[in-house]
Amino acid sequence: MKNVRCVPDGAITGDGDIQLKWPYDPYRVCGKCEAEGKFCKFVSNSSTSDRERLECFNPPENGVTLGSFLLLVIVIAMYLLHKQKKDDHLKIERFLEDYRALKPSRYSYADIKKITNQFIKDKVGQGAYGTVYKGQLSNDVHVTVKILNNTKGNGEDFINEVEIIGKIHQVNVLCFVGYCADGFRRTLIYEFLPNDSLEKFASSDHDKHFLGWKKLLEIALGIAKGIEYFHQGCDRQILHFDIKPHNILLDKKLNPKITDFGQAKLCSKEQSVVSMTTARGTIGYIAPEVFSRNFGNVSYKSNIYSFGMLLLEMVGGKKNSNLKVNNTNQVNYFPEWVYVRLDSGEELGIGIQDEEDAKIVKKLAIVGFWCIQWYPIDRPSMHFVIQMLKGDRDTLIKPPNPFVSTNPTMVPGQARGTAEVHFKSNLEVIVEHE
């Protein structure tokens, strides 16, 4: 309640009542709007004198609210789509960066000179194929640079290397970095591996003891997986034709890497025999059928024969082309000498004291002799070889003597039937891919 000091005459009615009139009642107008189910608002375009005037208006319909919601959804969707496209772009860019690092690059001869520091130092090897240097790329990555001898061959070795190894990305295959074909100068660049080749360890009792037989078994298993990849993991089968310790390099963790595809051939994956006009490979590791088709067709089984010889060299620490003369002056082929001792239950004469190591050695020998069976039909697939290397030695079946198969009366497949091991034998002759 408030005190009113004076009241205008016009506010007093004839009955003596006092009537007060407000100039404008917003609450009364809004109450009327609410009674009609409407909202009220100030008139936006009113003049100064009636700026306080209010008016009713209908509430927004559901369609307006729904439209706003849909607009919001569209805006959010467009944002997410833009973000996804941006993420996809970054993903592609990262892939291309990795791909550029993996894809073999072509270098000029000037680049090669820069990588090798003008061939002044870091020469790591030399042979009939050419000279090998240790080099360094601009990103401080060390590489092996093989300068091919341009007076040897017609360039087929170079083409084989670039075509075959340039498409392979497998943990047990040497990584191919790039190449140079500048006039008559041809160069191959690979990742650099610090531990030399398996030949250093396989032919030395001291280095073999340093590695340990468990590690040698792991190395053999890694090589087998690499060869299995040649047979099953590529679009076309790769026949290496030169599997030997010298062509197995070891990385800093002593993981094996297969290298040197200069003599390799490609053939269809569905068909597994290749015709050849000349023998290829290294004496001591070449399968009999590569020399003479009287022993069977040349196929992926030729790789398996070479791998078997590699295993026997790991076991004996001697070149497979070496001969051993016994006390009766009888000359024996070294792998045959190993088989005779294994067959008679004698120690292999390589000074193994630990029982577990002895089991590993016998396992490697047994698997090796399965791989060098005289006829390709009697050799296991590389998949089966891996199973044998992983399995228990006591469960392995000792193979027949592969050296008696030189007897003309020996029937191809007899060794397989004798040991009751069934390997795939239906090989179809095809023409090699050039």
Of residues 17, 140, 205, 242, which has the active-site annotation?
A: 242
Q: How far is CA 268 from CA 151, 236, 431, in A?
A: 32, 5, 9
249 strand-pairing partners? 197, 257
Where helices occur in 271-344 by DSSP H, the ranges are: 288-291, 301-316, 334-343
Question: Residue 81 carries which side chain, given as an amino acid letter?
Answer: L
Q: How far is CA 226 from CA 112, 193, 262, 345, 371, in A?
A: 29, 17, 17, 32, 16
User: What does the buried/exposed string (b/e) look like for 281-319 if buried means 16 or more CB atoms within 10 Å of the residue's CB?
Assistant: bbebbbbbbbeeeebbbbbbbbbbbbbbbbbbbbbbebb
Q: Say whether 265 sits in a helix, a strand or coil.
A: strand
E strand or H helix at 223: helix 213-228
Q: Which residues contact 152 (CB under 8 A, 6 or more apart)?
A: 128, 129, 130
Q: What are the φ/ψ torsions at residue 158 (nearest 5 degrees)?
A: -65, -45
Examine the residue annotation and report whether 242 is marked as an active-site residue of this protein: yes
Locus of tokens 């197995």? 248
CB-CB contact of 314 with 216 (8 Å): yes
Neighbours of 49 (CB within 10 A): 7
Q: Measured on CA atoms in the order 30, 33, 37, 41, is the torsion positive or negative?
A: negative
DSSP single-letter state for residue 395:
G
Q: Which residues are catalytic?
A: 242
